[in-house]
Structure 1
Amino acid sequence: MKLKFINPDSGMSRAELAAREALLSRAAGPDTAISMDCPQRTQVCIDSDLDVAVAAPEIVQMALQAQADGFDAVCLYCFSDPGLSACRELLQIPVVGGAQASLALAAQLGHRFSVLTTAAGRIPQKAAFVRALGFGNALASVRSAEHGPNEGRSPATDGALVKKLAQTCRRCAEEDGADTVILGCLSFAGLGAQVSALAGLPVIDPAFTLVGIAELLVRQGLCHSKLAYPLPPRAVRAWSGGTID
């Protein structure tokens, strides 16, 4: 089985992408090969709705190329699911979004969940996004971990970050009534189990969730419904790159 992960944050080196492939492989079966790429023509780091819109066109092209290259599924390595519906309209293989997959998993683990995002300014957008995906009734809260995707991580700093995330998880439980928490940014990838152990409640890691859901769909021969995501009418559609500053 071959899974293509599309990381929408541009400018990553091959070594950085390989490190993420190795991390994801920890959650994969022995017969699963994981490949990750990031946009080459789009300069963006997903931190707003604007970034999602800017990133989507090249992501759609990358997803189409992954299908042509024989991958069994495409995984969008982001909690904003950029271009998810458009990719599903065009592709005949499963396309999995980090947010949608994690929200669906949360519904299997408890009654009410919270989402941890990177900054307070992202809270309204993330809450609206969760509601738009149909999970609003189960949303206890969105809280900020105040650790942006550009702040970086290292073994030396991960311990402090895990403690900060666990403290925020406990506040979600004690003050907001959450019984499950989702790490709402892929910059927290690989920390779910440690945070869960420290916080004392289930903590969903979208990175590993993407692997598991994609493998499940491929193994069961399932794909998104073309009644829900029909192929768009044939037409010439073109766009060109530009700059927003």
Structure 2
Amino acid sequence: MGANGCAPKSIDTDQDKAIKNAIEIVFPSTRHRWCLWHIMKKLHEKLRGYEEYEKMKFILKNIVYESITPTEFEERWSIFLEKFHVSSNEWLNGLYVERQRWMPTFVKDIFWTGMSTTQHSESMHAFLDGYINSKTTLKQCVEQYENALRDKVEKEKHADFSSLNTQIPSITHYAIAKQFQTVYTNVKFREFQQEVTVHLNEVNCNDRLFESKGILCRHAIAVLICHGFFCPGKVYLEELEKRCKKMSY
């Protein structure tokens, strides 16, 4: 369950059918996303039999990672199927039917705490790196996982203290940067500064960076700066602010 006994807003898993069915029953209102890393890893297995496999792989990756809007994806996907005569491919058809579970342009409207669909496995490997290896026993694995979690919590406490007591210098003179510098944690303000190199109090952009990661994209920032606007309060996510205390473990 999520915090305070509530269902989680989102869940990220592989394509296991049993998990999919269980989530639909237990958490009917939860957004279920498939890990893109696992899907793209299957390209070789599912498409290697085609004569133009390498070209197909290149174009398919471009469609997946570079399509900005659902409409653009739909158009490019249709052209891909026709170009390579793969309209009857069962695996590709299955992916298309479930496109709203894995295709980046369909899942950017939900906040995923900054985890991309390709980071599911990589982030776990990084978390346990240095704590376990191929020779680690099951008992040691449990113990080392607790150690890794304890160290992670300690690092987050230090990061919180640093955010509350120090400020990262702003790389610009814009008032909007000063605004975020005051509110965001140091980690998130660094991300904001990377994005720096409106109507009815709303800020929207097709790349959905705010909806998926919690920070404004460079396009929205440029528009706000150009018009001399301050950011509306709704673009601050409480969990990313300095004043937000971490949940105790």
Measured against the shorter chain, the TM-score band is under 0.3
More strand by share: 1
Larger of the two Rg values belongs to structure: 2
- Relative contact order (C-alpha < 8 Å, sep 6+): which is higher? 1
TM-score normalised by the chain length of structure 2: 0.25
